[in-house]
Amino acid sequence: MHDARLLLDPDANAAAKLRRRGYVLDTDHLGKLVSRRSSVISEGDQARAESKKAAAEVGAAAKRGEDVTELRERARELKNRIGRLEEEQREVEAELTEFLLGVPNIPLDEIPDGATEEFAEEVRRVGEPPEFGFEPQDHVDLGERAGFLDLTRATKLSGPRFAVFKNAGSRLQRALAQFFLDIHTGEHGYTEFSLPSLVTRPTMTGTGQLPKFEEDLFRTGVADRELFLIPTAEVPLVNLHAGEILPLEDLPLRYTAHTPCFRSEAGSYGKDTRGLIRQHEFSKVELVQFVEEERSREALEEILAHAETPLRRLGLPYRVIKLAAGDTGFTAQITFDIEVWLPSQGTYREISSASDTGAFQARRANIRGKGKDGKRAQIATLNASGLPIGRTLVALLENNQQADGSIRIPEALVPYTRFEVINPDGSTS
């Protein structure tokens, strides 16, 4: 959540910067809310001062034996006025908070203009797409023919956009998750967490999923308890420190978790309906960092490199792009997408996003920093997928398929799968 004063500061040029991402900041309405809040606070302070003075006058007059009826009436009127002003202050602050919660992060100047992926800036390509002497199959045909992927039964159980795996498919998913976690905890210095998949409304608000994206979330509850299924482990990982003051000497904090993720994919029906690209439920290893705000851009390069490492180890060809302002997510001030090559589609598709949210999430979740010397600092949060299990599996199957329908397992993953090949009949060897 933004500082309203910064949004209204002409030197900050926030309104123009937000227009780059297609958001029109209503500075007139915001200015009126801020002015009204300041006025109510000032009036309340004045009324409390007058009330204190009136109470003293009542006490002094009573000691002198004077009639204090009028003075007491005046004191009651002031107390009633204070109550009305406090209620008005709560109302205007709630309205201001609601307004600010709907304002997206301000994009950095370095990201390109534009509203879609076609305006993204390609940063690098790693690896060469494989050349096949046959027509490559997609992951659905490969998985269903070998019997380790069953989308029909998944639809029977839960409806569309779910998947059932068995045998080699299940083992491959488990192996990928362990492979990712071992890299990030053992080599990159992340602390692994096991987390709840159900969180509260304030938790979702802290990382920016609410109130704007409520239609994209799965919500549940028992009696009067309202809970949301997490769309990513970023939500509970960031909010582990909600309302806390982090010692600056402990930074950076690097956290990771492997969790299920749940997304309604509202507004995306008709897109990627075949296979595992866009599911209501999937699992993912997430990376989150907490750093001092002035270090966030440097930390973004680091977390991006961490997300790329598993792809390099698996030998999967990919590219990195810097998203345009209008295509950057609500909470991010800059985002790099990692896109992996999918032979069946003949193109690169997103497999990870690495984002620097600056102080945006930390302000919403009330996360602050303080040094031993008393120095206070603004905290920044960063996140990246490191990586999603399903989309990585898609890329692995398609890029490593053989002419006979078998799939070779990358050498780095064999110690985790304990097999080198998935045969056309689904057996392993």
Catalytic residues: 263, 278, 350, 353, 391
Is 38 marked within a binding site? no
Is 42 marked within a binding site? no
Is 286 marked within a binding site? yes
Distance CA 337, CA 355 (A): 9
Is 263 marked within a binding site? yes
3-state secondary structure of 247: strand
Is 351 marked within a binding site? yes
Is 344 marked within a binding site? no
Q: Is the dihedral of CA 202, 208, 209, 212 positive or negative?
A: positive
Is 350 marked within a binding site? yes
* Burial track 62-87 (b if 16+ CB lie within 10 A, e otherwise): eeeeeebeebbebbeebeebbeebee
Is 225 marked within a binding site? no
Instruction: State yes or no: cis peptide before 424, omega within 30 of 0.
Output: no
User: In this structure, what are the phi and psi dihedrals at residue 267, rounded to the nearest 5 degrees?
Assistant: 85, 0
Is 39 marked within a binding site? no
Is 233 marked within a binding site? yes
CA dist list (Å): 289 to 235, 360, 392? 12, 14, 22
Q: Quickly list DSSP for 9-30.
A: -GGGTHHHHHHTTT----HHHH
3-state secondary structure of 409: coil
Is 353 marked within a binding site? yes
Q: Please calculate the CA angle 47-51-54 and round it to the nearest 5 degrees.
A: 135
Q: Which residues are known binding-site members for ATP?
A: 263-265, 350-353
Q: Which residues are known binding-site members for L-serine?
A: 232-234, 263, 286, 383, 385
